[in-house]
Chain A
Amino acid sequence: MTEPLLRIEDLTVRFRDPNREGGTLTALDGVSLDVAPGEILGLVGESGSGKTTLGKTALRLHEPAGGRILLRGRDIAHLSEAALRPHRRAMQMVFQDPLSSFNPRQTIATAIATPLLLHRLCSKAEVRARVLAILEEVGLPAAFAPRFPHQMSGGQLQRAAIGRALALSPDLIVADEAVSKLDVSVRAQILNLLRAVQRRSGLAMIFITHDLHVARFLCHRVAVMHFGKLLEIGPVEEVFDRPRHDYTRALIGTLHSPAAKQGNAP
């Protein structure tokens, strides 16, 4: 196997328990996994299983209580905010609700241009051309550049959010339920876009979803989480066709679900 882009070793994350003075909740309990360059790893599991915590901790949006996060061999688990900054460009995130991930008072062009300028990836003179090229890459006409978030639909905004993440040419994108809030017809557009973008740019992706059909469509490998632990991980076909863990078997079982009513086509 090639050198992993991201290696997570024995990662443990604890939060303060809001219901118990001085108590802690263990959100992640000794999780280890690798993400290879250019692969899409799916994280599946029910809500509360630790999928989002794992994704956010991999990007160091949380500091772990134990374990290591190796980004290209370098442990970033306890780096200071300043020491993390050079690595931030390489790791981007796409959230479930695109509306809340944009500043409502900034145009889409500004939202995409700001990180480009902050990371000095292009000069002020070039920035407009870069923004338009990014919009085109995610299938948005140039006319969207001066729009504000509230003037766009959920699908268009999610395209812009993906464009903003891509603008920095990251090595890794963590997408947290990035298609869950979208309408069925628009979801297909965004899934096709994610797949095309990933192939074009060869970036790696951690794709968090509770939708097994979506995981199966998009991901190369899939990791099943349950109560903060990693139950199993493997190539998507293998996990779906030959699940090893009882919980995974139950989860996969919902896919080939109980007979449709009176012989309705599935």
Chain B
Amino acid sequence: MSALLKVRNLRIHAGPVEVVRQVDLVLNAGETLGVIGESGSGKTVTCLALLRLLPDGLTAGADAMVWRDADLGSLSDREFRPYRGRQMAMVFQDPVGSFNPVKTIGWHLRTALDRRRAGAPWRPLAVTLLADVGIPHPDAVLERYPHQLSGGMLQRALIAMIVALEPGLIIADEPTTNLDNIVEQQILALFRDLQERLSAAFVFITHDIGIAAQISDRLLVMYAGEVVETGPAAAILAAPRHPYTRGLIATARALTARAETLAEIPGQLPLPGARPTGCVFRPRCAVARPGCEAPQPLRAIAPGRAIRCLLDD
């Protein structure tokens, strides 16, 4: 497997506050990385930083950021522009924001297709793309405006645009959170299909362990701006090692199993400016012990697997 994107020691600052720290990423072609974490864990800003889309006030830095053979870190914003969208595309939770409200769906698809169609008429291509993502009456939909489509249909249209762009990396940030269960499953199936066809690297951000299990090859678990556990999805889901990952998975399982009382993770996520020293999960951790007050490195525990915790069992 070849690495498409390699990132070493990515960090994001909001003024003096370190919002995200020490994130290493390797994204391989044809592989899906599930990024799990609660709101405030830094999963979205990490991905925005990869595309240089951070909102004002946040700055990112990394020791290395390499896309195929290109050193992205050395590029100016202008030089980076051809990579965004064409090479690396992002799907957001709310598809409405990804469309120009005064342009038709057809205009969007034509724009996405323009780079690749090499003079071929765009319309038949666009119709095929829409039909492929399960949009009925694609010919008519080309004339519609974004507000005339439902959330699920718009998310499909956005996926069709991404197929047109054929990017090497697709980042999807909670793309099904606003959708109903039935539509959610359809969209997930589309993503799986899309990834197989493009053999792109795929990053799927979610807070839902069940969804992550359905789609991920590898998992990255984030908590309070740090990676706390990473490794093959099957291995982590079968035997999570970090206490936070264990808590998340236990909660999800208890809900499915209809336990009498749900396993809770007591307390709450610390604010970025008020993180505890040492292990950031320590105040909520049931198995914290002497030694946890020291900063924890992300340490390898098995091939491809690492945790930011000193516990050995």
Residues of A within 8 A of B (CB): 46-47, 153, 155-156, 183-189, 191-192, 195, 210, 212-214, 216-217, 250-251, 254-255, 257-258, 260-266
B182 touches A185 (CB 8 A): no
**10 cross-chain pairs, A with B, having the tightest CB-CB distances, nearest first:** A46-B180, A185-B265, A183-B38, A188-B262, A254-B181, A265-B237, A264-B213, A260-B213, A188-B251, A188-B264
Q: Could you list 19 further interchain pairs (A-B, Cβ under 8 angstroms) beyond the known A188-B251, A258-B188, A263-B234?
A: A46-B182, A47-B180, A153-B268, A156-B268, A183-B40, A183-B269, A184-B252, A185-B38, A185-B265, A186-B268, A188-B262, A188-B263, A192-B264, A210-B180, A254-B184, A261-B192, A261-B216, A265-B213, A266-B256
A262 — nearest CB in chain B belongs to which residue?
Answer: B234
Taking a contact as CB atoms closer than 8 A, the residue among B214, B256, B262 that contacts A261 in the complex is B214
B233 at interface, CB cutoff 8 A? yes
Total chain B interface residues with beta-carbon distance under 8 A: 43
Residues of B within 8 A of A210 (CB): 180-181
B178 — nearest CB in chain A belongs to which residue?
Answer: A47
Known: A183-B39, A188-B254. A261 touches B182 (CB 8 A): no
Distance of B69 from chain A, by nearest CB (Å): 30
A214 — nearest CB in chain B belongs to which residue?
Answer: B255
B257 — nearest CB in chain A belongs to which residue?
Answer: A217
CA distance A186 to B39 in the complex (A): 11
Interface pairs (12), CB distance under 8 Å? A185-B264, A186-B38, A188-B262, A191-B262, A192-B261, A217-B255, A251-B181, A254-B185, A257-B185, A262-B217, A264-B233, A265-B238
B251 touches A184 (CB 8 A): yes
A44 — nearest CB in chain B belongs to which residue?
Answer: B181
The secondary-structure label for the interface of chain B is helix
B247 at interface, CB cutoff 8 A? yes
B211 — nearest CB in chain A belongs to which residue?
Answer: A257
B210 at interface, CB cutoff 8 A? yes
Residues of B within 8 A of A255 (CB): 181
Distance of B94 from chain A, by nearest CB (Å): 13
Residues of A within 8 A of B248 (CB): 184-185
Taking a contact as CB atoms closer than 8 A, the residue among A156, A263, A264 that contacts B216 in the complex is A264
Taking a contact as CB atoms closer than 8 A, the residue among A47, A184, A216, A257 that contacts B214 in the complex is A257
Residues of A within 8 A of B255 (CB): 188, 191, 213-214, 217
A217 touches B258 (CB 8 A): yes
Residues of A within 8 A of B192 (CB): 261
A266 touches B213 (CB 8 A): yes
B185 touches A183 (CB 8 A): no
Known: A184-B251, A188-B251. A155 touches B268 (CB 8 A): yes
B233 touches A254 (CB 8 A): no
CA distance A189 to B254 in the complex (A): 12
Distance of A124 from chain B, by nearest CB (Å): 34
Distance of A239 from chain B, by nearest CB (Å): 14
B235 — nearest CB in chain A belongs to which residue?
Answer: A264
CB neighbors of A among B14-45 (8 A): 32, 38-40
B215 at interface, CB cutoff 8 A? yes
B269 touches A192 (CB 8 A): no
Distance of A107 from chain B, by nearest CB (Å): 20
CA distance A255 to B256 in the complex (A): 9
Residues of B within 8 A of A257 (CB): 185, 210, 214
B189 at interface, CB cutoff 8 A? yes
Residues of B within 8 A of A214 (CB): 255
B207 at interface, CB cutoff 8 A? yes
Distance of A143 from chain B, by nearest CB (Å): 15
A155 — nearest CB in chain B belongs to which residue?
Answer: B268
B36 — nearest CB in chain A belongs to which residue?
Answer: A184
Residues of A within 8 A of B256 (CB): 213, 266
B234 touches A264 (CB 8 A): yes
Cβ contacts B240-255/A at 8 Å (1 or 0 each) = 0000000110011011
Residues of A within 8 A of B40 (CB): 183
Residues of B within 8 A of A46 (CB): 180-183
Residues of A within 8 A of B252 (CB): 184
A250 touches B182 (CB 8 A): yes
CA distance A183 to B238 in the complex (A): 22
CA distance A212 to B261 in the complex (A): 17
CA distance A62 to B57 in the complex (A): 43
